[in-house]
Homo-oligomer: A and B are copies of this chain.
Amino acid sequence: MVGYSNGKKPNSCPEAKTAVNKKVRTFSSANRGMSFEEDINISNEYYLSKGLMMVYKRPTPINVVKVDYSRKCARITDAYFEKQSTTDYNGVYKGKYLDFEAKSTKCKSSFPFANISIHQINHLEKVISNGGIAFFLIQFEALKKVYLLDAKWIIDFYKDAKRKSIPYETIKKEGIEIKQGYNPRLYFLDAIEQKYFK
């Protein structure tokens, strides 16, 4: 899921702390996440319709507690959303397996690792060891910029215990900026092609 999804507090960005109060931040971050997620989903539909790439969003896992079977159609009466134990997206491009996580931050100066969960790191490491293509799409909302960052590179940075975030300037240098437009909204296939197929 786009947004904050690990145990660490997502507020390690000073801009976010000072800019908005708790209630407003919760609301705006939900909207922000959804909009970035929507951009990705719409771009996926575009690429699928053009026969260029197939990427699906994994559904949010739901823990079903109670089901009422008395009706014709089984009705779930008690259930809870669970945290995604993998990443949000996977798919296929030119026969190769793709797997990625989309993250959005309000920070202007860095990407806080608080945004990434250990489950996602573990999952992406398995993707890499099985030969798949693994990356992050990172949105700097305030800067209106989106970058593709190779997962191996992010994981190495993440495992460096001295680091709690990646400076924006480093991401700008190491990542590939995603061109934005109308359709697709995010030209991230171009970035995948440039990073992994050239």
Contacts and interface: CB of A to CB of B under 8 A. Distances in A.
A18 interface: no
Contact of A95 (B59, B78, B91, B96): B96
Nearest to A63: B76
A79 B62 contact: yes
Contacts of A96: 95-97, 131
A130 B80 contact: no
A104 to B, nearest CB: 21
B74 A80 contact: yes
Nearest to A75: B80
B56 A94 contact: no
A128 to B, nearest CB: 10
The SS class assigned to the A binding surface is strand
Nearest to A64: B62
A48 to B, nearest CB: 7
A77 interface: yes
Interface of A: 48, 51, 53-54, 56, 58-59, 61-62, 64, 73-81, 86, 90-99, 126-127, 129-133
Given A58-B58, A75-B79, 13 more contacts: A51-B129, A56-B86, A59-B61, A59-B62, A62-B79, A74-B80, A76-B76, A76-B80, A77-B77, A90-B90, A91-B130, A96-B131, A97-B98
